[in-house]
Structure 1
């Protein structure tokens, strides 16, 4: 009984802290925010940017719902959006940033839905891969009419496509190799944590095989996958519109196709081992705007700060509340460095 009360009290305390963060952020926005905004950026502009950011995030949440539906797990649209916002929050807790967020987000999706962990991880990987492919396609389309393509890039892209195709053909062998490679750090962490039993190499390989099988199932549903791609594309356009509006508000108007082309390339900054790619994404985006669009550093920095506030920092407290409400305690523990039993 004491354990149950302690658990409920702990969850209540975490929710109280999360609510406090939201209230503090709202008070800061009301009291300090309008005074620190650049000239030309009014409340209407900020509101429109927040709407566009919500559309972008919601589209990716609906895309996650579509992939889960292909895998046989039905999730409501609002719950799917909440799950995606929660995965964004957990990405900030992972010690190595986005590179380590995938397995943790898979655990959260599994906790919030009835999907198995392997299916949940496959859904997260599929959405991330779709975002990358759609973003690269839009980048080529957006920059194609404004920037002269490098002939070396025209050679690299087909080579990458062939490499991916070759890897897919020998995926069964790759599963064994990946399973053995992943098992090493997992077993080491399991030995460090006394209360967890290190998983065997065979069990890790079986989980990797389950993820690959789920991805294969998604690939065999091209029509339903097309709907996922459509929602991801709409979300990418909404995010680009948010950045375009921020640039226009600070007095640095840039053509929308150019913004649509630059934005996906800034994703390389998310590989920086920092919460949510903080500093890496901002630096990459400012550099791209200066290089490709000719925007000066000060207005580019101001526009990027506005954009990241609307699309990343503002939704972050909501994502934290969603993670707690959707039963993501194991996922939060995993993101903070421990190994949940559901994974091990």
Structure 2
């Protein structure tokens, strides 16, 4: 649960340099001038839509945990999701860096095994991929029928098509060979985990059979998630609602500046921009903004300054707001799990 503040600060410093270069290239005065014209009423709408996004994805997490037999209240699931978003936003490589911490948040609040929490958040991440690509394909279809593709839009279309074809094929192959994958993961991770157990102070290397059992529990939890199709569809619905809200946040950000644009453009821009979250910067900060601006200009026809100002508004609602709310939630969980479910509190009192 301890945060490596030195690494985090270095990461944020690098991200701020990237953001500074982006705004500097566009022109600080031009961006500030665009922001000064923002409609305050619409800005409130941006925050409201961002709140619905966090709620929807939190309910998706709750649905997956329900499949795994760890029922938690909706409000707790939403707060845990904000803590998960905080973890993703302050660690390098986005979700890849934040999900191990998120699994610990889940295990503490849902009173479940760590492997179950990791399987839950991994399942939510996988489910989120499906509607994002489908919505992006809808946006690409709109542009192919209404406007001529520019070079950047062609690149975006190729990226979406590649993801739509490549990742499902990899997923199907991995699922059909999941027992072989499980054995490979056990073989590769066991010596690494035991090495960490030997070098870390006050830690004994875990037994090989313990490691194998915990990895097997993780894969078994993934199998359970895929077996409940009704609740799986419900989780996908919450995920799709979240993506629509993220797209709506960016659309409203432009609208607040006086630029009504095709909503279909947001369906393409937002999912592709999210891919930049895998950069080694905290939560993709800096990289995501640059990609969003680069895609907004050719897809909407707005000026670079307007696109940059809109991205600043959008990311304030979808990056900095979860950092503030989720940071408080993460601190509460780390301080003793005040978000514990009623059943867990009862057991602790007993």
TM-score normalised by structure 1 residue count: 0.79
Partner in structure 1 of residue 46 of structure 2: 49
Contact persistence 1:143–1:262 (CA under 8 A):
no
Aligned-residue CA RMSD (Å): 2.5
Task: Between 303-312 and 89-98, report the one with greater CA deviation.
Answer: 89-98
Q: Equivalent of 2:55, from 43, 48, 58?
A: 58
CA distance in 2, matches of 1:232, 1:152: 21
Report how far residue 317 of structure 1 moved: 1.6
Partner in structure 2 of residue 109 of structure 1: 106
**Structure 1 residue 130 and structure 2 residue 137: aligned?**
no
Contact persistence 1:56–1:234 (CA under 8 A):
yes
Report how far residue 240 of structure 1 moved: 0.8
CA distance in 1, matches of 2:272, 2:159: 17
**Structure 1 residue 208 and structure 2 residue 205: aligned?**
no
CA distance in 2, matches of 1:113, 1:197: 27
The structure-2 alpha-carbon separation of the partners of 1:192 and 1:93, relative to structure 1 and needing over 3 Å to count, comes to: farther
Q: Equivalent of 1:195, from 199, 202, 212?
A: 202
Partner in structure 2 of residue 119 of structure 1: 116
| SS of alignment partner, residue 41 of structure 1 | coil
CA distance in 2, matches of 1:296, 1:59: 32
CA distance in 1, matches of 2:49, 2:159: 35
Report how far residue 252 of structure 1 moved: 3.3
Q: What runs of 5+ residues in structure 1 fail to find an aligned partner?
A: 1-9, 11-34, 331-344
CA distance in 2, matches of 1:168, 1:125: 14
Per-residue displacement from partner, 1:304-326 (whole Å, max 9, x unpaired)?
11000011102312111111223
Q: Equivalent of 2:136, from 121, 136, 139?
A: 139
| SS of alignment partner, residue 122 of structure 2 | helix
CA distance in 2, matches of 1:152, 1:260: 14
Task: Between 223-232 and 200-209, report the one with greater CA deviation.
Answer: 200-209
1:241-256 correspondence to structure 2 within 5 Å: 241-256=248-263
Q: Equivalent of 1:318, from 325, 342, 347?
A: 325
Contact persistence 1:108–1:328 (CA under 8 A):
no
The structure-2 alpha-carbon separation of the partners of 1:152 and 1:76, relative to structure 1 and needing over 3 Å to count, comes to: closer
Q: What runs of 5+ residues in structure 2 fail to find an aligned partner?
A: 3-31, 338-350
Contact persistence 2:89–2:319 (CA under 8 A):
no
Q: Equivalent of 1:308, from 310, 315, 318?
A: 315
TM-score normalised by structure 2 residue count: 0.78
The runs of at least 4 aligned residues of structure 1 exceeding 6 Å deviation read none
Partner in structure 2 of residue 24 of structure 1: none
Report how far residue 161 of structure 1 moved: 2.7
**Number of aligned residue pairs:** 297
| SS of alignment partner, residue 314 of structure 1 | helix
